[in-house]
Chain A
């Protein structure tokens, strides 16, 4: 059974700080990784994808991938209260994504 582990949180950070969200996965064959944001009561929204080891930056978001350690992370710089949501990590397995249960992020003013 392929597994994706995320700390459920909540992770509380002050406005303007860097939020660091972490994810480990069990399938060494995974080559593609995705981060989704889900606001309460809403459907998940894709925010980042990463395919290669290293960092990938998009605006305030940076995804980091280390396939040897089976670890992927998401950094949110200059966190805003509007970033308060649950963040889901999802490695790809053939035609499917395997979702973690998510980390709840709370950004307080």
Chain B
């Protein structure tokens, strides 16, 4: 069965510090991978998605970046955090060859980031 991991679970970082969040998926190959952010009391905002190694699509211009160095690894980074970067960061995966079905997305446990 497939499993998705995210770490760390919680993180408190000062403004201006760098960020690296990691997500890995087990039990599948060539998944589509997604990074979302959920601000307190708000909906899910899609930040980045990737349909393959080295292929990153950015949904919202911001001071964050994403990379996919391996098939089942997705990394979210920032060089300098802002207060507005605080939130619940969620990684998700979906299966299917060449973007086909199944289209269901499955979420990891999330990382709760507080920028102080």
Contacts and interface: CB of A to CB of B under 8 A. Distances in A.
B1 to A, nearest CB: 14
A99 B44 contact: yes
Contacts of A97: 46, 103, 105
Contacts of B32: 95
A55 B17 CA distance: 50
B86 to A, nearest CB: 15
Contact of B110 (A43, A49, A95, A102): A43
B104 A95 contact: no
A99 B43 CA distance: 7
Contacts of A34: 103-105
A10 interface: no
Contact size range, A = 10 to 19
B67 to A, nearest CB: 18
B90 A46 contact: no
A90 B110 CA distance: 19
Interface string B91-116: 00000000101011111111000000
Scoring A44, A49, A88 by chain B CB atoms within 10 A of each residue's CB, the highest score goes to A44
A44 B44 contact: yes
10 contacts: A32-B101, A43-B109, A44-B44, A94-B99, A97-B46, A97-B103, A99-B43, A99-B44, A99-B46, A101-B42
Interface of B: 32, 34, 42-44, 46, 49, 51, 57, 59, 90, 99, 101, 103-110
